[in-house]
Amino acid sequence: MSDSSISQGAAITLNKLTKRYGDATAVDAIDLNAEPGEFLTLLGPSGSGKTTTLNMIAGFVDVTEGEILVDGKPVYALPPHKRNMGMVFQHYALFPHMSVGDNVAYPLRQRRLPKSERGRLVADALNKVGLANLSHRMPRQLSGGQQQRVALARAIVYSPRVLLMDEPLGALDKKLRDSLQLEIKRIHAELGTTFVYVTHDQDEALVLSDRIAVFNQGKIEQVGSAQDLYERPSTIFVAQFVGESSLFHGLAVDHGAGKGVLSSDRTLHAHRGDARTGAPAALVVRPERIRVQSIDGTAPSGNAVRGRILQEIYLGNSRKLEVELGDGSKVLVRESAGDVTANRPGDLVWLTFRAEDAVVLTSNESPDRPQAADDHVPVFASH
């Protein structure tokens, strides 16, 4: 987060914020706050409510119920232009008949600032986004990345205390997105403005954010730092949406050091989890925390599951394996390029992982699956 001593950002508070369209609820009584100067990302799949939430904050969508506070004062009754919030859209929304400089100056003209003051602020904003020498160009003469930088300059030129960004990099190619992510991160640190950023791209959220709010079906599943969400997901949805996860299904059980999952009379252990004992649960492990061992007659100690490798995917810096378990479910394993084993599709292998790398979460999926009894199909095991 930006140093509080330079922060010019405003605090945003959403209390029971709700938006309904007829019988459909797009945003369902969410509570959320952004601290002054924070970079808060709203992350979720299409239709999860994140963009509707952003548009209610901006004033483009009316609130059905609940309230929006900026520095403790309600703003939901104010029109967008009186909320002192900048906005950056996915598709730039530049005026094609205006030069770059005139596009950036537009909000200042609307606020009737003197021409001399406008010139200074426009030059400063363009300098911040690395376009100081392109003021006289027309939008059609710019690349997509440059046009988005102009849109960003236009949004920050009047020093709003809140900057709202709706999928601003969605129309760009991956290499350009990666580059602009770092630029946005730098600009946020320099300005100290409160950023609220919408994306469905989990990697983008992990790179940019101080905190991330994960949306699903109009509700917030979890709010936390990138590390919190990745290392300590509180729901299976978060575990699967923020990064990849491998799930081992069963019934939740207690053991001395924490929780576990019982499947086919065998228990896999985790040090963390809040699933109710006896309820359907899934033990969740990140694919890079799972190790693959050839079956040589000696069962590994600790958490170990037998499986058959179905396929391998070469990713350059790593290799991904899809492994089928005895219950018919499939899990992923990721091996780094410097630690690739000799196992190949068709091989029966042990999958092992540490209890401290696993978490047991409530599952809606039934664990009552048939288990195979012969040596040719993988089965659960724990020793």
- The CATH number given to whatever domain includes residue 205 is 3.40.50.300
**Separation between Cα atoms, residue 298 and residue 258, nearest integer Å:** 27
Residue 365: per-residue pLDDT? 65
Q: Is 204 in the same domain as 296?
A: no
The answer to whether residue 330 scores a pLDDT higher than 80 is: yes
**What's the token pair of residue 47?**
């239709």
- H or E segment at 191? helix 174-191
Residue 338: per-residue pLDDT? 87
**Separation between Cα atoms, residue 220 and residue 279, nearest integer Å:** 23
The answer to whether residue 232 scores a pLDDT higher than 80 is: yes
In a domain, 238, yes or no: no
In a domain, 52, yes or no: yes
The answer to whether residue 182 scores a pLDDT higher than 80 is: yes
Instruction: Read off the DSSP letter of residue 9.
Output: P
Q: Is 36 in the same domain as 123?
A: yes
We report the CATH number of the domain holding residue 256 as 2.40.50.100
The answer to whether residue 136 scores a pLDDT higher than 50 is: yes
Q: Is 140 in the same domain as 278?
A: no
Q: What is the mean pLDDT of the chain?
A: 88
Cβ-based neighbour number of residue 350 at 10 Å: 21
The answer to whether residue 217 scores a pLDDT higher than 80 is: yes
Q: Is 143 in the same domain as 215?
A: yes
Residue 379: per-residue pLDDT? 36
pLDDT digits (tens, 9 = 90+) for 15-39: 999 999 999 999 999 999 999 999 9
In a domain, 3, yes or no: no
Strand residues in 78-192 grouped as ranges (E): 85-88, 162-166
Long-range contacts, 235-241 (Cβ 8 Å, 24+):
235/361, 235/362, 236/282, 236/284, 236/361, 236/362, 236/363, 238/214, 239/284, 239/359, 239/361, 241/43, 241/44, 241/45, 241/202, 241/214, 241/216
In a domain, 308, yes or no: yes
pLDDT digits (tens, 9 = 90+) for 348-382: 999 999 999 999 999 876 554 433 333 333 333 33
Q: Is 205 in the same domain as 270?
A: no
In a domain, 236, yes or no: no
Q: Is 55 in the same domain as 136?
A: yes
Strands 303-314 and 380-382: antiparallel
Residue 264: per-residue pLDDT? 63
Q: Is 139 in the same domain as 219?
A: yes
Residue 375: per-residue pLDDT? 35
Residue ending a domain, among 183, 203, 231, is 231
Q: What is the pTM of this model?
A: 0.87
Q: Is 187 in the same domain as 271?
A: no
Residue 372: per-residue pLDDT? 36
Give the CA radius of gyration of the chain: 25
Residue 373: per-residue pLDDT? 33
Percent of the chain with pLDDT over 90: 69
Q: Is 175 in the same domain as 322?
A: no
**Separation between Cα atoms, residue 245 and residue 247, nearest integer Å:** 6
Q: Is 263 in the same domain as 182?
A: no
Q: Is 203 in the same domain as 271?
A: no
Q: Is residue 296 very low, low, confident or very high in pLDDT (cuts 50, 70, 90)?
A: confident
pLDDT digits (tens, 9 = 90+) for 268-287: 999 888 888 899 999 999 99
Report whether 214 contacts 243 (CB < 8 A): no
Q: Domain residues for 152?
A: 12-231
DSSP letters, 273-299, are E-PPTTSEEEEEE-GGG-EEEE--S-P
Residue 115: per-residue pLDDT? 85
In a domain, 288, yes or no: yes
Residue ending a domain, among 231, 266, 290, is 231
In a domain, 7, yes or no: no
Residue 220: per-residue pLDDT? 98
Long-range contacts, 354-358 (Cβ 8 Å, 24+):
354/289, 354/302, 354/303, 355/257, 355/258, 355/269, 355/270, 355/271, 355/302, 355/303, 356/271, 357/285, 357/286, 357/289, 358/268, 358/269, 358/270, 358/271, 358/272, 358/283, 358/284, 358/285, 358/289, 358/303
Overall residue count recorded for the chain in this entry: 383
Residue ending a domain, among 203, 231, 259, is 231
Degrees (nearest 5) of the Cα angle 32, 33, 37?
Answer: 150
In a domain, 239, yes or no: no
Domains of the chain: total: 2
What would the mean pLDDT of 111-134 be, rounded to a whole number? 90
pLDDT digits (tens, 9 = 90+) for 33-57: 999 999 999 999 999 999 999 999 9
Q: Is 41 in the same domain as 159?
A: yes
Residue 179: per-residue pLDDT? 86
